[in-house]
Structure 1
Amino acid sequence: MEPVRTCVGCRARAPRSSLLRVVQRDGELVADERAALPGRGAWVHDTDTCVDAALRRRAFGRALRVSGPLDTQTFQNTHQRNG
């Protein structure tokens, strides 16, 4: 049975393989394509709708338990080019 995670954008539960893992590195959001980077991760559907909702609600900071500001600009730019 495949692990299930919750999307921080739409809050729907989905199989881990259908979600993108996002971690923070030096205060910046980074997409973890292979889900292998160390540290706490947040899971999101790789769609503009879910990513935008998570960014708008500041869900990544809460899910990653980051107390200070989180640089989302690079992640947004990367996601828009790839998505």
Structure 2
Amino acid sequence: MAAMQRGIKPIRTCIVCRKSQEPSQLLRVNCVDGVITPTSGGKSHGRGAWLHLSCGYIAIDRKAFKSAFKLEQAPDLSKFKVFLDERLKSDN
């Protein structure tokens, strides 16, 4: 918190490409009850992971969420896939 008071901006790292950027450039997702859900707004519950929107499908292919959230089994990605499909269609 002291760093924020001095004007230092937080930096987050994409779980796929490992590039570090400000949170405004990345998408935060949560894993709640084994379901990967994109986070809207600044507040969210539980542990989060950060990634570029363009890295979303790569994260699914590489099973990056299982390791990012230290899960024993693969998480439910259905909501995340719908989110990606909608966001990427609207960006084109």
- Taking structure 2 as the reference length, the TM-score comes to 0.79
**Over 4 Å off, 4+ runs:** none
Using the alignment, how far apart are the partners of 2:22 and 2:42 within structure 1? 13
Over residues 61-80 of structure 1, what are the superposed CA-to-partner deviations in whole Å (9 max), with x where a residue is unaligned? 11112222201122112211
Task: Tell me what 1:56 maps to.
Answer: 61
State the percentage of identical aligned residues.
Answer: 33
Q: Secondary structure at the match of 1:78?
A: helix
Note if 1:10 corresponds to 2:52: no
Q: Which amino acid aligns with 2:44?
A: L
Residue-pair matches, total: 81
Q: Unaligned stretches of 5+ in structure 2?
A: 1-7
Q: Which has the higher strand share?
A: 1
**CA deviation after TM superposition for structure 1 residue 34, in Å:** 1.4
Q: Unaligned stretches of 5+ in structure 1?
A: none
If asked which structure has higher relative contact order (CA below 8 Å, sep 6+), I would say: 1
Note if 1:81 corresponds to 2:89: no
Tell which structure's C-alpha radius of gyration is larger: 2
Q: Which has the higher helix share?
A: 2
Indicate the RMSD between aligned Cα atoms, in angstroms.
1.3
- Taking structure 1 as the reference length, the TM-score comes to 0.86
